[in-house]
Chain A
Amino acid sequence: MGLATLLVLADGRLPSGGHAHSGGLEAQVSAGRVRDIDDVAGFLHGKLATSGLVAAAFAAAACDRPARSPELDAGFDSRTPSPALRKASRAQGRALLRAARAMWSLPPVSREPHQPVALGVVASAGGLTPVEAAVAAAHGTVSGAASAAVRLLGLDPYAVHGLLARLAPDCDRIAAAAAARAGDPVDDLPAAGAPLLDIGAELHATWEVRLFAS
């Protein structure tokens, strides 16, 4: 248990590649589905309940037992149908490991694991608990997209942070549920999906001009 360590890991300024990803928001903004602060609220709610839940579960499980990371990585792969999203997740996992190596001594882990799996392994190396890894995963899922919303839509940054504050209890709840099941077999972990995020990511990957990597 290290509260300050958790803050270090969850800090949006951690140089772990997140700033270049919109969490699927850029595709939805371009499709006209997300235009204002209310749309962003809906987007973040949906994202937290689907990819946030899955990310929290896999981060908690990887933190609980880092040696399970290959198996968890395969399980996360099968929950990520879009090749573009797989690539984005692995790129962010790799970037997180790069940052983490400068902070803690990591156990053996593949070169480019999915981001939530990497996050769990890193959290464990930093002495954090599964529930803390899950909080970082859930919060990271929404905070990255929220920061992209400020940049893409020119929204009032205070209003967007108001949204994040209102989502915080949901992040805690999801993290607690994820941590309680951290030892479950991989196949039993959550598998919530958001088809529009998958479709959006595939379209986004074909654009000639894009601001975010995903």
Chain B
Amino acid sequence: MHPEPQHHEHVVAGGALPHPSDGYTHDHDEVPHTHPDPGVDPHEPLVAGPRALRIGIGGPVGSGKTALVAALCRALGDELRLAVVTNDIYTTEDADFLLRNGVLPAERVRAVETGCCPHTAIRDDISANLDAVEDLEATLGPLDLVLVESGGDNLTATFSKGLIDHQIFVVDVAGGDKVPRKGGPGVTAADLLVINKTDLAPLVGADLAVMDHDARARRGDRPTVFLSLVEDRLATPVADWIRDLAKARIPA
């Protein structure tokens, strides 16, 4: 399954109607279709131009995913048409947070329930998240960027490529400077690793040089950035990383 807008409900391969006795027949060169609800157009909305860049933001509970989303909305809200999908069990918490902070109006945020399995919803069965992304695009019109925040999970959670184009994994220094060394798919394979809350490093005795060294060893050429969202309210290195990706997609 792939989220590219390639599916079209009315394109029916020859012979797809298994019961020719249904009471209607079509010439073989005609695309058969019905409009069950007069007044309701059953077509998928047409995607004008390329669909939005989708970025997944994963990482353990409390590492700063929502704070990062808020910072990115602040940094990019004026230059990119953006929307957010959250997978938090507090169905309105993250949306309220973004709203309260004045970074994103409520209609640009959708919450998805994950049935106790946050990583299932972003990896194994991504349907609810895809539906949320499509609904946002259908109600808001074309978007440049959709941020998908995963529910807080452990270090093994990663996003399916069927849902997002690139993923960011957020850990924090308060989790201990051993986190990058432990690895796991989030730390090793994410397109960008964010080590957040560097302002707390002296308080928790975390050695940033150790984290940097271990992250490099784990991640090879993949980028890692250090961040303190209380000091950098625009998450500048992350926003720049996204700007480059968005630029690469939208031909000048």
Contacts and interface: CB of A to CB of B under 8 A. Distances in A.
A175 interface: no
Contact of A108 (B23, B34, B40): B34
A101 B115 contact: no
Interface stretch (A33-41, A46-54, A162-170, A205-213): A205-213
Nearest to B13: A105
A19 B125 contact: yes
25 contacts: A15-B124, A17-B128, A19-B120, A20-B121, A67-B34, A69-B36, A70-B36, A70-B37, A73-B36, A91-B128, A98-B1, A101-B7, A102-B2, A105-B16, A106-B12, A107-B32, A108-B12, A111-B9, A125-B18, A151-B115, A208-B91, A209-B90, A211-B113, A213-B113, A213-B128
Interface residues of A, number: 44
A106 B34 CA distance: 13
Nearest to B41: A111
A19 B118 CA distance: 10
Nearest to A123: B18
B92 interface: yes
A152 interface: yes
A85 interface: no
B33 interface: yes
Nearest to B2: A102
Contacts of B10: 108
B42 A16 contact: no
Nearest to B40: A110
A95 B115 contact: no
B89 A211 contact: yes
Interface in A114-155: 124-125, 127, 148, 151-152
A145 B237 CA distance: 44
A67 B24 contact: yes
B130 A20 contact: no
Tell me the dominant secondary structure on chain B's binding face.
Answer: loop
Contacts of A208: 90-92
A15 B44 contact: no
Interface string B189-207: 0000000000000000000
A68 B24 CA distance: 11
B114 interface: yes
A106 to B, nearest CB: 7
A67 B19 contact: yes
Nearest to A69: B36
Contacts of A127: 18
A70 B38 CA distance: 11
A86 interface: no
A64 B117 CA distance: 35
A91 B24 CA distance: 29
Given A108-B9, A211-B116, A213-B115, A67 B22 contact: yes
A107 B125 contact: no
A94 B126 CA distance: 13
A152 B89 CA distance: 14
A162 B115 CA distance: 22
Nearest to B130: A98
B128 A20 contact: yes
Interface string B104-120: 00000000111111001
